[in-house]
Structure 1
Amino acid sequence: MRPRPLAGRVVAVTGGACGIGRETARRLALAGARVAIGDRDAEAVRTAAGELPDGVAGFDLDVTDSASFTAFLAAVEDRWGPIDVLVNNAGVMWVGGFADEPESATARQLDVNLHGVIRGVKLAAPRMRERGRGHIVTIASAASKLSPPGEATYAASKHGVYGYLKGVRAELRGSGVRISVIMPGVVDTELAAGTATGAARLLGPADVARAVIAVIERPRFEVFLPGYVGPLAAWADVLPQRARDLLFRVLVPDQIRSVSGTSVRRAYESRNLSDTPGGE
């Protein structure tokens, strides 16, 4: 398949003020795309846009609010025309025992990670279908397939994202609208502060950004980082439950143990799992 050039394409990235979203925007802009980054931290997103290469603009966006998401997409189209690619990147994570998780943190993760993606797809995909072209790329997680102890709700939200996108992809078959889901392991961002990587190496935002660009240029549905995670999860599914449990205990980190007795996540969770602005 011949790569699709990025030059001149309009790309909207949610959660773009920092981390994976910011690095993805930077690399897309360097490749010639016109990039809109949206974030609920208005000051941070405009600062980021000013520090990134030419062709990046920052906009207010709260993915948990339909009016805000609608206004974001409209503002991007008013500036540059139809959106070619939507990158659903915004996400939040609480880490700890399931019984200790505050109800507000549970609700926030589901609202941002799952409902935010659903909201973006429902708002962007119909416009793309009318034009007969478009691409929605969603940053999910290896937790879509593997559920580390200490990330129960986060994993549930990412399981939900994977299931939702699989169904939407089937509905959009033949429409010209592509759906892709990227499932990285632990990435070195504030979202993952204090967590362990298990048997996998720690990824950087650049690893995910490169995967986003690659899947835009050569569309496919599933992308795992590292690449062996997908085949490993599929292979593990054919094992007896006892063997599967043993394998996952060896390979998948226990995040409760990783964060126990530390305060490294306190500032992040206070800022991102409440109603006060903050980015991933």
Structure 2
Amino acid sequence: MTRQLVGKVAAVTGAASGIGLATSEAMIAEGARVVMVDRDQSALEALRDKHGDAVLPVVVDLLDPADCATLLPRVLNAAGQLDIFHANAGTYVGGELVDADTTAIDRMLNLNVNVVMKNVHDVLPHMIERGTGDIIVTSSLAAHFPTPWEPVYASSKWAINCFVQTVRRQVFKHGIRVGSISPGPVATALLSDWPADKLREAREAQSLLEASEVASVVTFMLTRPRGMTIRDVVMMPTNFDL
């Protein structure tokens, strides 16, 4: 099998678990070196032990503005270049708005929206100078449907969907492709805050995606011909609409 990302360097935020881990390992399988960005140092070290030199661990607290601003310099210090950036880190607030903790709302909006915008802002000059690059943002099916049990989370993804589609139109002239992946519910720790009845219903109905399935779509987006733009991939379990 031809490994299609040999010679490429990717950086993935929230890389130690869930979708970020699955996409990191999928890109490693395709020959890329991956700068795995996360707060969990021990998990990153274990992944470096597992994958060897293909993993370049970078411990960053993205919610700390000063630390967040070091992301690109540390990627370039570790790998010398950046071809692919997957803005994946995020968190979740679900349930009734009236019951939500406002501190949790601030944290989620900061990570899901502000951090993504700042990270993309910071990597763009490097990609523009090189005349090439891929940026993929983990969005959600909630970006396309006003999900009544998660108004705060859905609003963050609606915002980031607009961001992805507007930035995409600004930078394609520089050879940079920007797109998002919008999965339905994925069996990761992010669902721990789902209402218990909704999570139980989803599992019983087999209407959850696996992180590896999302990663396979990300790999497709990265390995398609350079002249093809995929703005957004909405994916959901077949049983989700039943």
Which interval holds the TM-score relative to the shorter structure? 0.7 to 0.9
How many positions carry a matched residue from both structures? 230
Q: 2:178 — aligned with what? A: 179
Task: Provide the secondary structure at the position in 1 that maps to 2:177.
Answer: strand
The within-5 A match list for 1:98-247 is: 98-193=97-192, 194=196, 195=199, 196-197=201-202, 201-218=207-224, 219-226=229-236
| Cα distance change on mapping 1:133 and 1:4 into 2, 3 Å | farther
How far apart, in 1, do the equivalents of 2:143 and 2:206 lie? 16
How far apart, in 2, do the equivalents of 1:79 and 1:72 lie? 11
| Cα distance change on mapping 1:192 and 1:15 into 2, 3 Å | same
| RMSD (Å), alpha carbons | 2.4
The gaps in structure 2 that reach 5 residues or longer are none
**CA contact under 8 A between 2:208 and 2:237: conserved in structure 1?**
no
**CA contact under 8 A between 2:33 and 2:54: conserved in structure 1?**
yes
Q: Which deviates further from its counterpart, 176-185 or 211-220?
A: 211-220
TM-score, length of structure 1 as denominator length:
0.76
How far apart, in 1, do the equivalents of 2:22 and 2:216 lie? 9
- Show CA shifts across 1:228-248 (max 9, x none): 9xxxxxxxxxxxxxxxxxxxx
**CA contact under 8 A between 1:64 and 1:115: conserved in structure 2?**
no
How far apart, in 2, do the equivalents of 1:67 and 1:136 lie? 22
**CA contact under 8 A between 1:142 and 1:185: conserved in structure 2?**
yes
How far apart, in 1, do the equivalents of 2:144 and 2:52 lie? 35
Structure 1 residue 55, shift from structure 2 partner: 0.3
The within-5 A match list for 1:256-271 is: none
The gaps in structure 1 that reach 5 residues or longer are 229-249, 253-280
Structure 1 residue 54, shift from structure 2 partner: 4.3
How far apart, in 1, do the equivalents of 2:133 and 2:182 lie? 21
Q: In the alignment, residue 71 of structure 1 is paired with which amino acid?
A: T
Q: Which deviates further from its counterpart, 194-203 or 51-60?
A: 194-203
Q: 1:88 — aligned with what? A: 87
Identity of aligned residues (%): 32
**CA contact under 8 A between 1:144 and 1:162: conserved in structure 2?**
yes
Q: 1:46 — aligned with what? A: 45
Q: In the alignment, residue 225 of structure 1 is paired with which amino acid?
A: M
Q: 1:13 — aligned with what? A: 12
- Show CA shifts across 1:54-75 (max 9, x none): 4012111222334323323212
Q: In the alignment, residue 121 of structure 2 is paired with which amino acid?
A: K
TM-score, length of structure 2 as denominator length:
0.87
How far apart, in 2, do the equivalents of 1:69 and 1:42 lie? 16
| Cα distance change on mapping 1:53 and 1:19 into 2, 3 Å | farther
Structure 1 residue 141, shift from structure 2 partner: 0.3
Choose between structure 1 and 2 for higher RCO, CA contacts under 8 A separated by at least 6 residues: 1
Q: Which deviates further from its counterpart, 200-209 or 9-18?
A: 200-209
How far apart, in 1, do the equivalents of 2:86 and 2:122 lie? 13
Structure 1 residue 27, shift from structure 2 partner: 1.4
How far apart, in 2, do the equivalents of 1:28 and 1:122 lie? 23
Structure 1 residue 4, shift from structure 2 partner: 9.5
**CA contact under 8 A between 2:209 and 2:237: conserved in structure 1?**
no
